[in-house]
Amino acid sequence: MCDYILVVDFGSTFSKFTLINKTQAKLSAVYSYPTTQSSTIMDGYQIGRDHILAQVGFDEQRDRLENYFCSSAWGGFKMVIIGFTSDLTQKAAQAAALGSGTRIVGSYFYHLIVDDMADIQALAPDAVLLTGGTDGGNQQFVLEVGQLLADQLDTIDVIYAGNKNAQSAIQDIFASSSCHLYLADNVMPAVNEIAVDSVRQLARSIFMEKILKSNGLDQVAQLSNRPIIPTPTAVLQATELWGKNHQKHADDGALVIDIGGATTDVHSFGKGTPSQLEVFYEGMLEPELKRTVEGDIGMRESAGSLVDQLGWDKLLLDLPEFNGMPDLERAIKDRLENSTYIPKDSRQDKLDRNLAAFAMDTAVKRHVGRIRKLASHTYHQTGKDMRAFESVIATGGVLVHSPYRDQLLDHCFNQEECQDLRPYGPNIWIDNDYILSALGVIAPIYPELAQKLMNQHLVMSRP
């Protein structure tokens, strides 16, 4: 008899199946099945399940199977965030939202009007996160915006995570509204203090409730040994597990970079606080476990906006293999129209290399902190200092399959004259088997097993 664990990541394009032999503590098989080709999620699950279990000779009478699921399908969990100030409560709201696995589709702060409410309604978010004011501080902003939300929005879930002294009044405002109000702890209970756990847990619960109504996922959920979680949450859990188990010193940590078709995601675990006496921290401390999502940077669906930022003329200058601008424009159009596009020759590979290099460099630059010199021996730091982080994990198609992968990673993380606080000269690991999210799903349940499998299957780049 063998005990198996099946983890399924339901994506918008493909569902990824990972089978683990729990008895032998080893990865047994991986399999992908097109999500869009199944009439329902249950159909796709059954096809994938039967296929992957057949590979190991699974015996329904003798062997046992545990099911766990995560999902990023249907565009993920969409959220609009609202904060009092852009540099404090809105930033805290963003950290809480992204850390819960959501995709931020709108961001507002300070003065909101009725037209903003119409914009929010049109965005059709799964939830609106309202924050503002430290505990015992300003209440006017959250009460005014809360009244607008209650009056103008129709049947949208609202999470209130602002000044706790205003909770009772907020409840009164939403008492007769068609919106459903949820209360969470203040994301910024004191100036420059961030508290994201309550919002993260609540957002994940709302995600589960909503996603179970999507395309038959409620039927699959009945087979799960634990609640379904967002795929980004699974990757965050894997990042945390790796970071804790590989931390060699107080300033150490881990960073995960995932270059996708529509977005480039960066996850990190580590304090990143100043380690030198002459460096002073400025602004709000960031959470130890952090995620950022760059929705304007991707290899396929977001290739157009990526090239707009990189510069068409610069890209063409770097790629003389392309016969003028119309030729390059056709290549970008191919990527925009086909999310599963695969380069067919060396010049297309080189185009992907340049796109990936810019995507990775920009996403990492936005994720990590900065340092600036104030006086001869005094510096101010904002964000996390990750220069001493010794682990970087690369995942996503281009960072697994590109012939230029090592060149891309070396360039990004070995910049001697860098203007930001990214890891410098870290050990780089490659998620060749696309198992990071699957192992993140089981990390809270079987941490030792998940870590063992990560150690076995993440491959060091140029060991």
**Residue 37: predicted pLDDT:** 55
**Residue 122: predicted pLDDT:** 94
Spatial separation of the C-alpha atoms in residues 288 and 274, rounded to whole Å: 14
State the DSSP H helix or E strand holding residue 280, giving kind and residue range, or none if neither. Answer: strand 279-281
Nearest to 384 by CA among 359, 365, 362: 365
Low-confidence ranges of the chain (pLDDT < 70): 36-39, 73-76, 211-215, 462-463
The whole-angstrom distance between residue 385's C-alpha and the CA centroid of its chain comes to: 20
**Residue 300: predicted pLDDT:** 92
Domains of the chain: 3-73+214-221 (3.30.420.40), 77-206 (3.40.50.360), 231-299+352-460 (3.30.420.40)
- CB half-sphere exposure, 133, CA atoms < 13 A: 20
Q: At what angle do helices 140-152 and 114-123 cross, to 10 degrees?
A: 60
Spatial separation of the C-alpha atoms in residues 270 and 386, rounded to whole Å: 8
**Residue 322: predicted pLDDT:** 95
One-character DSSP codes across 307-352: HHHH-HHHHHHH-TTS-HHHHHHHHHHHHHH-TT----SHHHHHHH
Q: Burial, 289: exposed, middle or buried (Cβ in 10 Å; 0-12, 13-18, 19+)?
A: buried
Q: In terms of DSSP H, where are the helices of 338-383?
A: 346-367
Spatial separation of the C-alpha atoms in residues 265 and 364, rounded to whole Å: 9
Q: Is the dihedral of CA 441, 445, 448, 449 positive or negative?
A: negative
- CB half-sphere exposure, 287, CA atoms < 13 A: 27
Q: Please, are residues 457 and 435 in contact by the beta-carbon 8 Å criterion?
A: yes
* Residue 231 CA: distances (Å) to CA of 71, 98, 304, 340, 384: 5, 12, 25, 19, 24
* Strand ordering across the sheet containing 459-460: 289-294, 264-269, 254-259, 391-395, 427-430, 459-460
Query: Which amino acid belongs to residue 361?
Result: D
**Residue 215: predicted pLDDT:** 62
**Residue 426: predicted pLDDT:** 96
Q: Which two tokens stand for residue 42?
A: 């249950």
Q: Which two tokens stand for residue 234?
A: 């699974």
Spatial separation of the C-alpha atoms in residues 80 and 182, rounded to whole Å: 15
Nearest to 79 by CA among 55, 95, 67: 95
Query: Taking the CB of residue 453, how many other CB atoms lie within 10 A of it?
Result: 21
The whole-angstrom distance between residue 168's C-alpha and the CA centroid of its chain comes to: 33
Query: Taking the CB of residue 265, how many other CB atoms lie within 10 A of it?
Result: 25
